[in-house]
Each structure stands twice: as C-alpha cells, then as structure tokens.
Amino acid sequence: MNITETQKFDLKKLVQDRRSEQFDLFEKFVNPKLMKVLRTIGFDRQYVRAEGAYLWDSAGNRYLDFLSAYGVFNIGRNHPVIGKTIQDYLDLLDPWKVQLGASLLPGLLAERLLGFAPHLSKVQFTNSGAECTEAAMKFVRCATGRQRILYFDRAFHGLSYGSLSMNGCNSFREGFGSFLPGVDCIPFGDLEVMEKELAKGDVAAIFVEPIQGKGVFPATDEYLLATQDLCRKFGAYVVLDEVQTGMGRTGKMFAFHDIEGLKPDLLLVSKSLSGGMVPVGAVLMRDEIYHRVFSSLDRCVVHSSTFGQGGLAMACGLATLDILESERLPENAAKQGAALLSGLRAMAERFELVKEVRGRGLMIGIELCQPKSFGLKSSWKLIHAADGGLFPQSIIMPLMDDYRILTQVAGHNMDIIKLLPPLTISDQDTSYFLEAFGSVLEACHRFLGPAWTTASRLVKFSVTSR
C-alpha cells in the first residue's frame, strides 16, 4: 500500500520541530513529580541519540549507560539487527492475530526459549514482567488447587495488583488498599520458616528471584536448591523470576544455568527479551501445569491478552536471542562483571564508606555504610536523620555530572548503588567506570568535600518539598 498525498504524518519532523518542549510537555501532561526529581538530581538531560551502551545529549556529549533502563537493553540500545528485523517484519505484511488462528512466530520463539530450559515444554506469552507474574500466580493456583503463594521480603515481581501483593517493599504498596489474600511474605534466607509454611500443605508456589533486584541480594545456590527440595517435598511449585537476571545478564543465558540441579517449574522472562523496543514477556512452564490450566477445549484461551504473542515482539525476541548468542554477550557479561567486581572489591578495602560489593555478571550492588571517622560519621548521621534514601545520590550525581555515567540507587531507602549496564560494554568502558567511581569515592571521603555538600543540598530540598 502506498502513502497518499493527503497522509502527511512525519514522525522525524515532529520530533525535530518540538524537541525543545520535551520537559515542559512531560511536566505538564505526564509526570510533574518525576520531572522535579530529574531536575533536582541533574538527570534532566536532553538525550537525542542512543546506541549500544551510550547516549548523546543535544550538545553532543556522550554518556555511558550503566543502567540499561533497569535491564531492558541487554543487547545495547538501537541494535542494528533489531532495526532490520522490525523493517523486515513490516515488509512481510505478517497476518498475525487472526482470530481464531495460530501464527508461526510465537511457535518459533517458544521453541527457541524452551531450548534454554528443556525440562519445560509450554510458553505463555505476555507483554510485561508483571503480566508474567499475574499469569504464573493464576497457573500455580489452578494447577495445584491450593490458594497460598509465598514470596520473600524485598521481592519485586511487578506493580499490578497480584504482583504488588507479592512486593516486599512497603513504599510501593502504601495507599493502594488491600491485596490478594493468601499471598504471604517469608524472610529471605530462612529455610526453617519456609519449611514450616510449606508443611501446612496449602502452598501452591514460592516465587523467587535468583538475585533480588531491590538491593541486589543474590540467593546462594544452596538456598535455591533447598527451596526446590522443600517445594517438591510439600507439593508446591518453584516460580523463578528471571525478568531481570535473564537474557545473559548474570553471565549465562539464565541465572539458573549456573546452578547444577536447579529446574524451576515456571520461569518468568521479560525486559530484554525483545531487545528493548517492543513489550514482551514469557512464562515457561512444565507440561502438567499447562494441561491443568488449559484443561479442556473450552478452556483453550482461558488465559490470554490481546497483544500477547505480538508478531513484532516475537520477531524481535528471535533476533535478540540470536544477537546474544552470536555476539557472545553472556560471556562478555561474565568477563566485564568479574572485572567490575574485583575492581570495586579492591575499593571496598580502601574506602570506609563501602560496606560490600555483591552480584553476578553485570548485576552488581555496591552497599555503602556509616563511616568510622568522626567527621564523616556525623555528616552521614545528619543526612540519614533527614532522609534515609538520599546519601547514594552524593555518588550518583557526580558520576553523572563529572563523568557522564548513569547509575541509580538499588531501591527505596537503601544505601546501595546498582549497576546494570548493557552486556555490550567494552574493557575500556569498565576501566573508565572503575576510574570514575574511585575518584568520586575519594572525594566522598574528604570531610565536607563536594559530595557532602551535594547531599546536604539534597536534604534541604527534600525536607522543603515534602
């Protein structure tokens, strides 16, 4: 079909003509509170281009993205193969979503995904991580006939009602009323409590992240295996949420590949699955779960959503898996992650502000702690008394201002900085980050140095804007 004379929509021109209104429009019509935060911490940069691990602002400055939109751009931004795949898909004039019908691409992507978890045999496609959680909650209840679901403190599985019912952070839950009954929190790392709850015989499943995204807290291999053993003993399923740890992030295609004998009953995948351009999610499950949920011809679409199995998402998913493998990105994540962890751990020994550096592959948390020296200690206390979540900004802001590196805090009220760069980062990127981080830490250890002034300024701002 050709574009006619009267069809004048021109996206490139629109963006060019109205670029200068970016922040005003966002503030007026989308989220003024977020805009205020961005302005306060100096994250109100007008990026005009993004490629791989880098962003460029309107003045031509290059930024190193050590967040990848919280793990969406594992293959880097605007990967050319994703661009070509989108173009190819449009050229195909693909007849997806014929009701009723079954198209090719979901089958191909499911086949490819299940190759990474051969003990699982069916895939339910979704549009987001939270939708994966919702589907899995329904499936485990239906497949077991049990109502209770266990999750861990600090857990994050999304922000829709079901997934929010399993959110281990109160700041996300406040103000939203009551949550799903029978969804109970247990302490992360406590097998005794877990066993006691499972032994009641009414638990459908435990949801677990191999590395908790909030705060970057890895579960040990032994803990995950013991969780699996206990679940099997008491007839509950293990739902492994790899929305953030998956797609090569931890150095293997999925984090569970590193743990001999771990075979989750359901596996949740999203974020990077489509390379970052198109919403997508996938719930991989055991055959028996599929058959118990979709138990008759009547129930063949008992769970679905309009855009699940979206053709473009499926195409980009296939391309992303190919890119991850052909560019050996999980291997690069393992290599760069090891270099970052060892460089940062060396800093932890030198700098009293650093308590611990933890993570796997390119999912790293740097936990800060109250310094011992008198001057730094009293400044730390003062800042924390005013606002429990601000101190990390005194590192994050100079990293942005002086070195043009994007990082963020690992969760509400946490003295933890999180690194989640694209898996494409180079040796030079890693060295540059370590050098920059070391310099910023050095400045932080100077009593009343620039970092403390930044933090005090933020405290004043946060107190006055409550």
Ligand X SMILES: Cc1ncc(COP(=O)(O)O)c(C=O)c1O
Residues that bind ligand X (CB under 6 A): 70, 128-130, 133, 156-158, 209, 213, 241, 243-244, 270
CB of 14 to ligand X, least distance (A): 27
Residues paired with 31 in a beta bridge: none
CB of 167 to ligand X, least distance (A): 10
CB of 252 to ligand X, least distance (A): 17
Half-sphere exposure of 331 (CA within 13 A, CB side): 5
If the CB atoms of residues 209 and 352 are measured against ligand X, the closer one turns out to be 209
Strand pairing class (211-212; 217-218): antiparallel
The interaxial angle of helices 393-403 and 32-41, nearest 10 deg, is: 70
CB of 133 to ligand X, least distance (A): 6
CB of 335 to ligand X, least distance (A): 24
Q: What angle do CA 368, 247, 67 make, to 5 degrees?
A: 35
If the CB atoms of residues 133 and 394 are measured against ligand X, the closer one turns out to be 133
If the CB atoms of residues 72 and 198 are measured against ligand X, the closer one turns out to be 72
CB atoms within 10 A of CB 433: 24
If the CB atoms of residues 158 and 330 are measured against ligand X, the closer one turns out to be 158
The interaxial angle of helices 450-464 and 32-41, nearest 10 deg, is: 160
If the CB atoms of residues 213 and 392 are measured against ligand X, the closer one turns out to be 213
CB of 427 to ligand X, least distance (A): 28
CB of 238 to ligand X, least distance (A): 15
In the numeric block, the tokens 């492994």 are attached to: 240
CB of 307 to ligand X, least distance (A): 13
Q: Which amino acid is at 449?
A: G
CB of 159 to ligand X, least distance (A): 7
Residue with smallest beta-carbon separation from ligand X: 129
Counting other chains too, the contacts that 196-199 makes at CB distance below 8 Å and 24 or more residues apart are 197/148, 197/150, 198/150, 198/230, 198/231, 198/233, 198/234, 198/236, 199/234
CB of 59 to ligand X, least distance (A): 31
Q: Alpha-carbon distance 26 to 402, whole Å?
A: 26
If the CB atoms of residues 67 and 443 are measured against ligand X, the closer one turns out to be 67
**Residue 18 vs residues 11, 12, 23: alpha-carbon distances, Å:** 11, 10, 11
CB of 250 closer than 8 Å to CB of 224: no
If the CB atoms of residues 130 and 423 are measured against ligand X, the closer one turns out to be 130
Strand pairing class (281-285; 266-269): antiparallel
Half-sphere exposure of 219 (CA within 13 A, CB side): 33
If the CB atoms of residues 238 and 436 are measured against ligand X, the closer one turns out to be 238
If the CB atoms of residues 243 and 282 are measured against ligand X, the closer one turns out to be 243
Concatenating the DSSP letter of every residue in 325-359 gives HHTTHHHHHHHHHHHHHHHHHHHHHH-TTEEEEEE
CA 431 to chain centroid: 24
In the three-class reduction of DSSP (H, G, I as helix; E, B as strand; rest coil), residue 366 is classed as strand
In the three-class reduction of DSSP (H, G, I as helix; E, B as strand; rest coil), residue 361 is classed as coil
If the CB atoms of residues 247 and 353 are measured against ligand X, the closer one turns out to be 247
If the CB atoms of residues 117 and 354 are measured against ligand X, the closer one turns out to be 117
The H-or-E segment that residue 107 falls in is helix 104-114
Q: Would you call the peptide bond into 230 cis, given omega within 30 degrees of 0 as the criterion?
A: no
CB of 353 to ligand X, least distance (A): 27
